[in-house]
Amino acid sequence: MLPGMSVIIRGARVRFLQSKPGDGPKPPPRPPCEYCGKAWHKLAAAWGWHVGNSTELRENILAGRESKEHPWYTGHRSIAAHHLICSEAMADDEDWAQFCRDFGYDINRRENGVMLPMVLAVACELHVPVHVGPHSGGWAFDMDLAYPGAVARLLEGIAQAVADGLFCADVSKLTGELDQLSRTILERLAKGRWTLTSDGQDYLPGGRGCSGVSSIEGKPRVPCPRSRRHGVRHPSTHQPLARRALQVGE
């Protein structure tokens, strides 16, 4: 039968026409964007992640180097990668799980980390925070909150902006906003406005330091008996550890 010919089916005349491209079934229209409410659009090209992993963060910071190549390495389990936006502030939050996935932010990115000593004597000499114990032992003195709670509080405004669609026009701007928050947190840690441990302010210049002990538990409130000069050296270079300002991603 040729296109355009008509036939009679059960007394009704039916005309068969040749189909054209696009004449087939069409998918239902996509719903609008759940964030900005505008027409559906793509978000991040790759999913992000909201749960912190210290090994992954360390590898991202070291970028192919071994831990022993870090200038503050002093031996096995002597340094740790710290998430500035800590995992506790995002890991159990369903909203941030979706935001990170949709907008491509990865909490384990280098820009959210800093390497810190895990040995009290090393932190004592370097005048930097020590990374031991749960983050809940730290305190944000300018917000009167434990460290994880303070991070979560600072994330609230950003989360509202995401939910309101303010990052839809350029999804990469959420990562930029969170990277800026990471830098702000590091600045507060460096100045002692925030701490990671209950004795965090002891490691500031002019502080008590390690008090001559190797554990925070039961640590006395007395000055370091070695005047914060422990003579710690790098095991590979045999050079004294050098003090330097804390830097994101280092």
Length of the chain equals 250
Residue 146 CA to residue 196 CA, distance in Å, equals 9
3-state secondary structure of 140: strand
In 3D space, the residue among 61, 73, 80, 56 whose CA is nearest the CA of residue 132 turns out to be 80
Please give the single-letter amino acid code of residue 22.
Answer: G
Domain ranges of the chain: 54-203
Please give the single-letter amino acid code of residue 220.
Answer: P
Q: What is the pLDDT of residues 18-62, one digit of tens each?
A: 667 767 777 788 899 999 999 999 999 999 999 999 999 999 999
pLDDT of residue 15: 65
* % residues pLDDT > 70 (the chain): 91
For 78-107, what is the mean pLDDT?
Answer: 97
* pLDDT tops 60 at residue 2: no
Residue 230: CB atoms within 10 Å: 19
Look at the alpha carbons of 62, 66, 68, 71 in this order and tell me if their dihedral is positive or negative: negative
Q: What is the pLDDT of residues 119-173, one digit of tens each?
A: 999 999 999 999 998 999 999 999 999 999 999 999 999 999 999 999 999 999 9
Nearest 10 degrees: Cα torsion 113, 169, 152, 181: 40
Asked if residues 245 and 110 have their Cβ atoms less than 8 Å apart, the reply is: no
List phi, psi (to 5°) of 68: -70, -10
**Strand runs (DSSP E) across 33-101, as ranges?**
79-83
Per-residue pLDDT band for 225 (boundaries 50, 70, 90) equals: very high
pLDDT of residue 29: 83
3-state secondary structure of 138: coil
In 3D space, the residue among 93, 109, 101 whose CA is nearest the CA of residue 153 turns out to be 93
Label residues 79-111 b or e (16+ Cβ within 10 Å = b).
bbbbbbbbbbbbeebeebbebbbbbbbbbbbbb
**Strand runs (DSSP E) across 38-184, as ranges?**
79-83, 113-117, 139-140, 145-146
* pLDDT tops 80 at residue 68: yes
